[in-house]
């Protein structure tokens, strides 16, 4: 099996408990800029999606302000996500073992991870979320520019804008659903959030959820001493 | 039914006896992104009738519009066409559009001049598309009006409109279009353009009166050989409160692309209808799935055994 799942920043810090570095500072900052942009985009976008949510424009200073900020935040998200994409696309490439893992998807959802093939840095559901999110963000930036009338009105015809605005809203809904799954999974699999806050997980977490990743790290002697609790 | 101004044949003087100002909140039948109670009273539907066969292309209507609405369309360059400005703009709510059309039957060159502007649809696509509460309203007399203080400048009205009418100002980022001189109609006056028209090609009054007037005009045109003369009051948008008498009503497209069967685009209807339900259902299901999953499986915790296994692995390799 190819060891595509190890990233440069990954390292085991022996100790009790074992700590494993998963995301360096750059990756975490990049992630949280993306996360905050996505939340702001969802709030301002939902305000335009349905009248019952129009009050959300108040968070941005009013309707005019929400309308003006939304596309710029979208540009920020696009580039920020592009950073995440460049960091993580290799680790998210599909592998042969993913097929078998998905055949046991029921066990994954039930939390019976011992019945699953050992996962690398990402499991197939995480990979699916990654690629779907990437495609949706491309769809959103393309359709978003088509309806960014302030600067790009002449780039598209009105019938094209109609299709763009419909696709933009549907893609946004799909992205919000993926986001809900993502956030829920982090909460469900306890001990995951610290990967994006402190940058590390415990050895037990890695053993339970991403055993092949942990084994590969050990195999390649990716050890760091002394163990520092912060990294 | 409350009376509306009848200015089909003449313009009434501004007098104390003029209709008490109407077209306030209580006369609204539709308000964008809002649910409102039905209006307490019904105003008589009004309409502007534009008789294309009587138009001489003098642009007095455009001048009157600019004057009444106090807009200042910028100077443009002459590109060899009659339209001036070249298109509707946030400062030009009405525009004479000129077409040189060769009639294949008679071989005659016909100069077709159509005064373009908001049609004041009974079923307004702009209002349907608008996400800002109260930025677009429709009064019970049929006038569709933009309320600029509520407009957020998103341009959704442009996508909703089947006639390509609204324009967003680069200055205040709000949408502009013909108001049918709602501020004049509210006090019993006809629109400025109708008042200025030297050939009475533009008439204004109750929609019923305008239809009667149109009938007499169509009869006249037919007697003079325009067998396809007719009234343009497209049913696809529920009829309009700006109507045309066209000598070639069988082919409205020849009048600078006047749509033959305008209706709110099915894409806009899907976006404003189905997409909302599907969207909320999908987001609700995703959230509900998470809650149910949490209730049935509980949290997925790392065990002491997992930590020991990891420690053993690390010991083995170091």
Indicate which of A115, A173, A201, A206 best probes the interface with B, i.e. most B CBs within 10 Å of its own CB.
Answer: A173
Give the distance from residue B273's alpha carbon to the nearest chain A alpha carbon, in angstroms: 10
Average pLDDT, chain B: 93
Residue A105 has pLDDT above 90, yes or no: no
* Residue B12 forms part of a structural domain: no
Average of pLDDT values for A32-43? 98
B240 and B298, same domain (yes or no): no
Residue of A nearest to B308 (CA): A204
Residue A210 a catalytic site member: no
B162 and B108, same domain (yes or no): yes
Average of pLDDT values for A130-134? 98
Higher pLDDT, B222 or A110: B222
Could you say which residues from 278 to 297 on chain B have a Cβ atom under 8 Å away from some Cβ of chain A?
Answer: 278-280, 282-283, 285-287, 290, 293-294, 297
Average of pLDDT values for A9-31? 94
* Residue B2 forms part of a structural domain: no
Higher pLDDT, A174 or B26: A174
Q: Give the torsion through C-alpha atoms of B11, B14, B18, B20, to 10 deg.
A: 120
What is residue B204's predicted lDDT score, i.e. its pLDDT?
95
**CATH code of residue B155:** 3.30.70.20
- Active site residue: A13, A50, A182, A220, which one? A182
Residues of B in contact with A110 (CB under 8 A): 297
Q: How far is A212 from A14, CA to CA, in rounded Å?
A: 17
Task: Indicate the range of A96-100, A137-141, B87-91, B100-104 predicted with least confidence.
Answer: A96-100
B291 and B241, same domain (yes or no): no
CB distance B240 to B50 below 8 Å? no
What is residue B19's predicted lDDT score, i.e. its pLDDT?
56
Residue of B nearest to A54 (CA): B132
For tokens 């019952």, name the residue.
A52
Q: How far is B213 from B46, CA to CA, in rounded Å?
A: 13
Higher pLDDT, B134 or B189: B134
* Residue B250 forms part of a structural domain: yes
Does the distance separating the beta carbons of A207 and B309 come in below 8 Å? yes
Q: From the CB of residue A50, how many other CB atoms can be counted at a distance below 10 Å?
A: 17
Does the distance separating the beta carbons of A205 and B306 come in below 8 Å? yes
What is residue B223's predicted lDDT score, i.e. its pLDDT?
97
Q: What digits encode the pLDDT tens for the residues B306-318?
A: 999 999 999 988 7
* Residue B11 forms part of a structural domain: no
What is residue A1's predicted lDDT score, i.e. its pLDDT?
45
Average of pLDDT values for B99-106? 94
- Band (pLDDT 50/70/90 cuts) for residue A222 is confident
Does the distance separating the beta carbons of B300 and A64 come in below 8 Å? no
What is residue B117's predicted lDDT score, i.e. its pLDDT?
98
What is residue A221's predicted lDDT score, i.e. its pLDDT?
84
Residue B17 has pLDDT above 60, yes or no: no
Residue A2 has pLDDT above 70, yes or no: no
B140 and B35, same domain (yes or no): yes
Number of domains composing chain B: 2
Count of alpha carbons within 13 angstroms of residue A78, beta-carbon side: 16
Domain that holds residue B97: 25-263
CA B279 to chain centre: 27
What is residue B318's predicted lDDT score, i.e. its pLDDT?
79
B175 and B209, same domain (yes or no): yes
Residue A215 has pLDDT above 50, yes or no: yes
The rounded percent of chain A whose pLDDT value lies above 90 is 83
- Band (pLDDT 50/70/90 cuts) for residue A231 is very low
Task: Indicate the range of A98-112, B228-242, B261-275 predicted with least confidence.
Answer: A98-112
State which of B263, B291, B308 marks the end of a domain. B263
Residue A132 has pLDDT above 50, yes or no: yes
Give the distance from residue A182's alpha carbon to the nearest chain B alpha carbon, in angstroms: 10
B65 and B212, same domain (yes or no): yes
Indicate which of B90, B279, B280, B291 best probes the interface with A, i.e. most A CBs within 10 Å of its own CB.
Answer: B279
Average of pLDDT values for A92-114? 90
* Residue B298 forms part of a structural domain: yes
Average of pLDDT values for B127-132? 98
């Amino acid at each position: 099996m190819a060891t595509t799942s190890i990233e440069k920043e990954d390292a085991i810090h022996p100790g009790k408990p074992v700590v494993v570095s998963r995301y360096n500072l750059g990756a975490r900052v990049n992630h949280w800029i993306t996360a905050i942009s996505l939340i702001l985009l969802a709030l301002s976008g939902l305000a335009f999606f349905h009248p019952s949510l129009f009050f959300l424009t108040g968070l941005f200073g009013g309707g005019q302000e929400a309308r003006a900020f939304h596309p710029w935040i979208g540009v920020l998200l696009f580039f920020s996500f592009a950073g995440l994409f460049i960091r993580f696309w290799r680790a998210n490439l599909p592998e042969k073992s993913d097929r078998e893992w998905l055949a046991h998807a029921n066990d994954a959802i039930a939390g019976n991870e011992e019945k699953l093939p050992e996962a690398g840095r990402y499991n197939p559901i995480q990979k699916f979320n990654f690629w779907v999110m990437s495609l949706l963000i491309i769809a959103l930036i393309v359709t978003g520019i088509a309806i960014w009338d302030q600067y790009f009105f002449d780039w598209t015809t009105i019938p094209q804008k109609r299709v763009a605005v419909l696709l933009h809203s549907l893609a946004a809904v799909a992205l919000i659903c993926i986001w809900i799954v993502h956030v829920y999974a982090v909460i469900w699999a306890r001990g995951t959030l610290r990967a994006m806050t402190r940058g590390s997980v415990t050895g037990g977490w890695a053993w339970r959820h991403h055993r092949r990743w942990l084994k590969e790290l050990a195999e390649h002697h990716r050890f760091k001493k002394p163990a520092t609790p912060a990294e | 039914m409350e009376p509306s101004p009848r200015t089909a044949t003449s313009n009434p003087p501004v007098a104390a006896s003029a209709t008490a100002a109407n077209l306030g909140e209580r006369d609204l039948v539709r308000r964008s992104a809002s649910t409102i109670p039905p209006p307490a009273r019904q105003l008589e539907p009004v309409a502007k009738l534009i008789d294309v066969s009587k138009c001489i292309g003098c642009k007095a209507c455009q001048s009157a519009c600019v004057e009444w609405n106090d807009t200042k369309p910028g100077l443009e360059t002459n590109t060899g066409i009659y339209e001036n400005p070249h298109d509707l703009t946030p400062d030009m709510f009405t525009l004479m559009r000129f077409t040189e059309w060769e009639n294949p039957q008679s071989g005659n060159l016909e100069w077709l001049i159509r005064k373009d502007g908001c049609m004041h649809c009974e079923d307004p696509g702009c209002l349907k598309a608008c996400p800002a509460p109260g930025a677009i309203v429709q009064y019970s007399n049929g006038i569709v009006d933009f309320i600029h203080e509520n407009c957020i400048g998103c341009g959704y009205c442009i996508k909703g409109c089947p006639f390509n009418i609204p324009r967003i100002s680069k200055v205040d980022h709000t949408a502009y279009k013909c108001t049918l001189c709602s501020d004049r109609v509210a006090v019993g006056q006809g629109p400025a353009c109708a008042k200025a028209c030297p050939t009475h090609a533009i008439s204004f009054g109750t929609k019923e009166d305008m239809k009667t007037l149109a009938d007499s005009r169509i009869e006249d045109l037919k007697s003079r050989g325009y067998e396809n003369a007719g009234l343009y009051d497209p049913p696809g948008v529920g009829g309009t409160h700006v109507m045309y008498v066209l000598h070639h009503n069988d082919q409205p497209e020849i009048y600078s692309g006047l749509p033959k069967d305008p209706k709110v685009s099915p894409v806009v209807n899907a976006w404003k209808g189905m997409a909302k339900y599907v969207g909320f259902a999908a987001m609700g299901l995703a959230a509900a799935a998470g809650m149910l999953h949490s209730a049935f499986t509980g949290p997925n915790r790392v065990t002491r055994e997992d930590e020991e296994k990891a420690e053993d692995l690390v010991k083995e390799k170091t």
